[in-house]
Amino acid sequence: MRRFLLQSFLYSLIVLSLASCKTYKLTNVQSIPNSEKTVENLYFSSHEDYVYKCQMDIYKNHVSGILIIKKINETTHRVAMTSDFGNKLIDFEISENDFKLNYVLPDLDKKIVINFLKNDFQQLLKQKYPVSESFENGNSNIYLSKIDKKAYYLFFNNENGLLKQIIYTKNNKEKIDFTFDAKKHIFADSLNLQHKDFKINIKLFQITETE
């Protein structure tokens, strides 16, 4: 059964890689003077373990397990995922510019899977964003960060200052929507990662909380 699910997972990724995504544009906002030169995603900045229940929906396939994220130095995180039965699925170290695969289950050892995970976690764990433009609406302060052909829109709640959403775009096309639920700056209680060019949704739910 597990092998069948993994094969279906791979097939879905290959088929959906041909999908397109829409151009992204902010609406109902007003431009404001830049008050910040840099903004940060601090949710994975602690050196404590971040442990989540992980649910992945890829097309019609559902995969669940335990995901552990740990910051091992100032630039690098280690990410490991096990199945619900405790079997290791993948273990890797990642930074903005580097990726080291420590272990992957043979059935998952496919280039398309590795690239998919590498890209998602490089975007998720990116911490610092130089600010290009600033906006606001009724609920959020919004910062646009442009890096080469990539652009990031970071939405901060204007009441408590917590990061609640990151829209990642490339070539003006919306790629990934990261939505956070949090009570403090260094730990997200839950995360919803929604691809816009794949029918892929990843949800993380807190198991243990950092102090």
Residue 197 has pLDDT above 90, yes or no: no
Write down the mean pLDDT value for the chain. 88
Give the count of domains, the chain.
1
Residue 200 makes CB contacts below 8 A (sequence gap 6+) with 13, 16, 56, 57, 58, 59, 116, 194
Q: Identify the pLDDT of residue 110.
A: 87
What pLDDT, on the 0 to 100 scale, is given for residue 1? 46
Contact status, residue 105 vs residue 3, Cβ threshold 8 Å: no
Domain range enclosing 14: 2-208
Q: Which amino acid is at 165?
A: Q
Selected residue with higher pLDDT from 24 and 58: 24
Q: Is the pLDDT of residue 13 over 70?
A: no
Answer yes or no: is pLDDT of 14 > 70: no
Give how far Cα 23 sits from Cα of 18, 156, 172, 174, 195, Å.
16, 22, 6, 6, 14
Of the two residues 6 and 185, the one the predictor is more confident about is: 185
pLDDT tens digit sequence for 133-153: 999 998 999 999 998 889 999
Whether the pLDDT of residue 193 is over 60: the answer is yes
- CA separation (Å) from 76 to 6, 9, 98, 138, 189? 28, 28, 8, 36, 21
Q: pLDDT tens, 31-65?
A: 999 888 999 999 999 999 999 999 988 777 788 99
Give the mean model confidence (pLDDT) for residues 145-163: 95
CATH number (domain holding residue 47): 2.50.20
CA gap 63, 3 in Å, rounded:
12
